[in-house]
Structure 1
């Protein structure tokens, strides 16, 4: 039994460790493909922007950060060619932040890496065990209740 198991939180520790390892693996692969300036928090921003863009305020709310922090992130991503600001279609004073082709290319590379990771895990576990684990993870996520288990960064 590991120390974490002896303390009564081995499963929690293993989830956290597996998540961190997956994120590190993803970003090593992204860097190898030329996306070495993308950080984990940017993926959460891309996720929001992939549904037609967002205002800075909407992005801040999605990421649970201040408007100023969202503006800094947008500036960073825009400076590196991942996003661009466009006139908002319904608010003449506002700006809509949208993904550029480079942003979409990063999303496609991320998706391909996720598929490759899952394929490796399924090969390692076997299809039946992988399906059981997937269902167990769904149950755990649902147990957090509606609206509380959001896909956003842990700051």
Structure 2
């Protein structure tokens, strides 16, 4: 665990953050070893918006909550590195649909294999029952997020 003051290591927010950071760091280290060193963590959120059939830049702006210019810059970068391609939109003659290229799909396959490997290691570390309970509990928390909070 990274060196932080003890009082900040036991609260859930810190633990989630540190676990996510460790997961992300290992993912990107291993992606780099596989030839995907030009991908950054922020790109992962954009990729999720492209699965399975692509998306418009406007849809990505709404999904990511960032400016049109920022999305456009990310798409330019990913297109230059052959992860995405912009195609004419099938139902909007003026619009473009951003879709994954073969390299983009290869990246997602590699990411899934790496995540599965990490989860298997975590399952060995804490036991498969604990890992499955953690997954189930987190899903329940996410599904009920915002319920019962003061307005």
Q: TM-score, normalised by structure 1?
A: 0.86
- Aligned alpha-carbon RMSD (Å): 1.7
What do residues 87-123 of structure 1 show as CA deviations (whole Å, max 9, x unaligned)?
1101111111110000000000000011001000001
> Which moves more between the two structures, 45-54 or 17-26?
45-54
Structure 2 counterparts to residues 6-155 of structure 1, below 5 A: 10-145=11-146
Aligned length: 143
Could you say what secondary structure the match of 2:82 adopts? coil
Q: TM-score, normalised by structure 2?
A: 0.88
Give the distance between the partners of 1:102 and 1:86, measured in 2 at CA. 16
Give the distance between the partners of 1:114 and 1:44, measured in 2 at CA. 15
Tell me, which stretches of 5 or more residues in structure 2 are unaligned? none
What do residues 16-62 of structure 1 show as CA deviations (whole Å, max 9, x unaligned)?
10001101110000000000000111111111111211111111111
Higher relative contact order (CA 8 A, sep 6+): 1
After superposing on structure 2, the runs of 4+ consecutive aligned residues of structure 1 that deviate more than 4 Å are none
1:2 to 2, 6, 15: 6
